[in-house]
Structure 1
Amino acid sequence: MDGGYTGIAGRSVLAIGAHPDDIELGCGGALLAHVAAGDTVTMLVVTGGENGPGDGARGAGRRAEQERAAEMIGARLVWGGLRDCEVVPDSQTVRLIERVLRATRADLVYVHAPDDSHQDHRAVASATQGAARRLPRVLHYQSPSTLSFSPTVFVDVTAHLSGKVAALAAHATQVELSAMVEPDAVVASARHWGAQARIGYAEAFQPTRLVLDLAPVQGGAVAAVPASWQLTPSMPIGTV
């Protein structure tokens, strides 16, 4: 598989999150769009979320919730096996992410934004930047705990917003205890970014790198443009 990403079916996408529900909240709509386009999507959840909202006995429940959400998205799920609130961006974490990158042959990665008040989010973002240092496409998503976020890349999720909300609802132990993942807030955020992107609903991303592959699109119909032409006063602007 070559390294270019043009949205052509069959590309490999890796989404990385520190805890169960992080990925769905940050880029669930984009992942659904990738699956709909025929891309292969893998979700790497680095910890089991043992210290999240709810009592400690919910650890196994959170795993089941995450497995159900990944199934709803149509993604393969990989567990990182690290412990919630103890993730550090050391060589072990970098190697973990490198192994998944090699196994999936990913050419596009989604991960937490680096400037975040949750230490696990910061650590996962930093380790991913190290592991994906040779990858030409790394996009960062926003979390409720993100501190600064200046997105310049947007994905139209208008057709997939209900699917994103449904995948988040699979994380019942979190939705019932956190206003940050309630459906109204998710929809409002998507509408906000959609307005910024001049579309209906969007997810927003801050790139570390985003290399565009401008290879010709196979089978695409493109209107012919004369080799030489001039705008005349009588020509309506909308026809150019």
Structure 2
Amino acid sequence: MAGKSVLAVGAHPDDIELGCGASLLAHAAAGDVVTMLVMTGGESGPGAGERHAEQRTAARTLGAALRWGGLRDCAVVSDTTTIGIIEAVVAETQADLVYVHAPEDSHQDHRATAAATLSAARRLSRVLHYQSPSTLAFAPTVFVDITAFLSGKLAALGAHGSQVEFSAMVEPDAVQASARHWGAQARIGYAEAFAPTRMVLDLAPVPARPADRRRSGSRVVPAPRRPAAAGR
């Protein structure tokens, strides 16, 4: 995945950091270009006047570019307007991989953002869903080793000071415990977990061994037999 374009979509400030912040740090460390698309400014929650500035600081902490969807908190719907906003950022970034909320969630903005992103990313071969504190059903089968990036994730979440202060969902101990839980499931130290809609692995082809066979164009040519020894 090195050198790829990665897009993470979230309904509110801090959603992306909670769901896949450490994985975005890992992508940036691998040389990938990372973009965050935040659909609303979180105006209906605590610290409404601070959340844009907090999100900008968090994006810098993750080494990510930041885009805003410009929609209203608690009023996101999966319509052509929302799909078009996401499609425009997918096209702008030429995204190879998209992260977004899990579809089954008790927050209507999360559900709508997930549905609109699936439509906007319908031609992409890599779409992964992350867990939110309000996710209702989540059965991940893809894990990212974030052992080296957990502290960076916590730093990015710390940029959302209004949420850390007023929301138990952003409590650092809970975030670390979740990462340890998924790490145990993945047989590693700490992990972020994802449920794929699609996840195509781009593997390098394995060359044929010349000792086994020789190729001429597209035709397989058997190796010549050695002449029989005299006297046999």
Range into which the TM-score falls when normalised by the shorter chain: 0.7 to 0.9
The question of 1:49 aligning with 2:42 is answered yes
Between the aligned residues of both structures, percent identity stands at 73
Corresponding residue number in structure 2 for 1:233: none
The question of 1:171 aligning with 2:160 is answered yes
The question of 1:205 aligning with 2:198 is answered no
Q: What are the ranges of 5 or more consecutive residues in structure 2 without an aligned counterpart?
A: 213-232
Q: Distance in 1 between matches of 2:103 and 2:48?
A: 26
Corresponding residue number in structure 1 for 2:99: 110
Corresponding residue number in structure 2 for 1:150: 139
- Where 1:154 maps in the other structure, the secondary structure is strand
1:63-142 mapped onto 2 (5 Å cutoff) = 63-142=52-131
The alpha carbon displacement at 1:215 in A equals 2.1
- Runs of 4+, deviation exceeding 3 Å: none
Q: Which has the larger radius of gyration?
A: 2
Aligned with residue 32 of structure 2, among 32, 39, 42: 39
The alpha carbon displacement at 1:59 in A equals 2.8
Query: 179-188 vs 58-67, which deviates more?
Result: 58-67
1:158-237 mapped onto 2 (5 Å cutoff) = 158-216=147-205
Q: Distance in 2 between matches of 1:15 and 1:25?
A: 12
Instruction: Give the counterpart letter for 2:204 in structure 1.
Output: A
Corresponding residue number in structure 2 for 1:11: 4
The alpha carbon displacement at 1:212 in A equals 1.1
Q: What are the ranges of 5 or more consecutive residues in structure 1 without an aligned counterpart?
A: 1-6, 218-223, 228-240
The alpha carbon displacement at 1:216 in A equals 4.3
TM-score, with length taken from structure 1 = 0.85
Matched pairs, number: 211
1:12-27 mapped onto 2 (5 Å cutoff) = 12-27=5-20
Q: Deviations over 1:32-62 (max 9, x none)?
A: 000000100000000000011x2xxx33310
Q: Distance in 2 between matches of 1:180 and 1:125?
A: 20
TM-score, with length taken from structure 2 = 0.88
- Where 2:103 maps in the other structure, the secondary structure is coil
- Where 1:125 maps in the other structure, the secondary structure is helix
Instruction: Give the counterpart letter for 2:10 in structure 1.
Output: G
Corresponding residue number in structure 2 for 1:230: none
Q: Distance in 2 between matches of 1:16 and 1:204?
A: 16
